[in-house]
Amino acid sequence: MPNTPNIPTEPPSADDELSEAIAKLTEEAAKGTREDRPDRLSIADIIECPEAFNVRGEDPAEHHLTELKRALERMTDLDPVLILPCGDSFVLIDGHHRLEAYRRDEERTDIPVRYFEGSIEKAVLEAARINAKAVLPLNNQQRQNLAWRLDLTGRYTKPQVMEAAGISDGQIAIMRRAKRKLGSQASEFDAWWKAKRAADGNPNSWTEQEDIDAWRQHRAQVIADKLAKTFGPKLSGNPTIAALALEIHFGRKLADLTQELIDICQDELEEDDEDTDF
């Protein structure tokens, strides 16, 4: 009788992984769920269950993490992550990028949280619902423009503008000085960088390095958003392929790009060193 061929066992499907994750979480919850609900949790106490709650099925997007890192430099906290109390554990439902951004900040030990009190099955649906309607977060240029438009109305306090737009107290103070200087003309500028140039007396020329840097940052952010929308985490997750693609695209100008990247990395390292000095 012929031997039965060895047929490779297929890896479990996504449905199997999800069902198994739900079953395990349900079993854990059945043992009794802790009753305390602190407003903040230690990062080390938050457990991830990607089989159940990583709706996107991808590694964290570096593009998004960069934006969150910049936000943390201006704000005390990001929005609370959503947590499921399960047995003796706290399981992350939504906020994977925020949690990773906190983890990359060595000074952060705990983070703000909110809780989901429904069943495991409903928690899975909640994670899907939240991510299905998620939108691309505002970049730095967009946040500044938003703050400028809000402050122009004269209807909001400084703390309200800070919270709504996610910018610093000092930045709003600069905007208000510019608004006073521009007077009735302030409302003619729909973008902060345009208003700033006018307030500085340079409405039609790029005379200050800060203005040039702001314009470059704006254009770079637009391109970064397009890359993120087109490729998702594929570029950041495959740096070798990304480098080869850039080599093909830039051709002889690759050396110029390389030097620019070296300069940017050096600036980042110097900023990190300044942050750690006491």
Residues 236 and 198: their CA atoms lie apart, in Å, by 38
- Residues 152, 105, single domain; the answer is no
Query: Which CATH number belongs to the domain containing residue 82 in this structure?
Result: 3.90.1530.10
Distances in whole angstroms, Cα of residue 264 to Cα of each of 53, 81, 260, 268: 35, 31, 6, 6
Residue 260 in contact with residue 268, Cβ under 8 Å?
A: no
Q: What is the pLDDT of residue 89?
A: 92
22 domain residue, yes or no = yes
In a domain, 6, yes or no: no
The reply to whether 106 and 159 lie within a common domain is no
Q: Does residue 254 lie in a domain region?
A: no
Strands 110-115 and 89-94: unpaired
Supply the mean pLDDT for the chain: 78
Higher pLDDT, 10 or 180: 180
146 and 127 fall within a common domain:
no
Q: Which whole number is the average pLDDT over 16-21?
A: 79
Residues 107 and 80 in one domain: yes
195 in the same domain as 114: no
- Do 72 and 120 fall into the same domain? yes
Determine which of 7-16, 36-45, 148-157, 205-214 has the lowest per-residue pLDDT on average: 7-16
Say if CB 172 and CB 151 are below 8 A apart: yes
Backbone phi and psi for residue 125, each to the nearest 5 degrees, phi listed first: -65, -40
> Does 116 score more than 80 pLDDT?
yes
Q: Give the count of domains, the chain.
A: 2
How high is the pLDDT of residue 209? 57
pLDDT band at 111 (very low <50, low <70, confident <90, very high): very high
Pick from 70-79, 134-143, 195-204: least confident = 134-143
Question: Does 164 lie in the same domain as 73?
Answer: no
**36 and 127 assigned to the same domain:** yes
Residues 116 and 159 in one domain: no
Residues in the chain: 278
pLDDT beyond 80 at 28? yes
Query: For residue 157, what are its two tokens?
Result: 């306090």
Residues 55 and 104 in one domain: yes
pLDDT band of 42, cuts 50, 70, 90: very high
* In a domain? residue 236: no
Q: What's the pLDDT score for residue 14?
A: 46
**Across residues 203-213, what is the average pLDDT?**
57
Is 194 among the domain residues?
yes
Whether 228 is in a domain gets the answer no
Burial 27-58 (b: 16+ CB within 10 A, else e): ebbeeeeeeeeeeebeeeebeebebbbbbeee
pLDDT of residue 12 exceeding 90, the answer is no
Neighbours of 11 (CB within 10 A): 8
pLDDT digits (tens, 9 = 90+) for 150-173: 888 888 888 888 887 878 888 899
Are residue 81 and residue 170 in the same domain, yes or no? no
Most confident of 93-97, 198-202, 207-211, 215-219: 93-97
Reported as type and span, the H/E element at residue 48 is strand 46-48
Give me 227's structure tokens.
Answer: 């890359």
Indicate whether 266 belongs to any domain. no
Of the two residues 124 and 17, the one the predictor is more confident about is: 124
166 assigned to some structural domain: yes
Rounded-to-integer distance, Cα 83 and Cα 123, Å: 9
Domain end position, chosen among 182, 208, 234: 208
Find the helix or strand (DSSP H, E) in which 111 lies: strand 110-115
Write the CA distances from 181 to 111, 214, 236, integer angstroms: 40, 20, 43
Distance CA 107, CA 122 (A): 34
Q: What is d(CA 67, CA 71) in angstroms, rounded to the nearest whole number? A: 6
Chain center to CA of 98? 6
Type and span of the H or E element at 261: helix 254-276
Write the CA distances from 61 to 56, 67, 192, integer angstroms: 10, 10, 28
In this structure, are 123 and 147 located in the same domain? no
How do beta strands 89-94 and 81-86 pair? antiparallel
| pLDDT level of residue 1 (50, 70, 90 thresholds) | very low
The last residue of one of the domains, among 173, 208, 243, is 208
- What average pLDDT does this structure show over 178-206? 82
**Domain housing 204:** 142-208
> Which of 84, 110, 132 lies at the terminal end of a domain, its last residue?
132
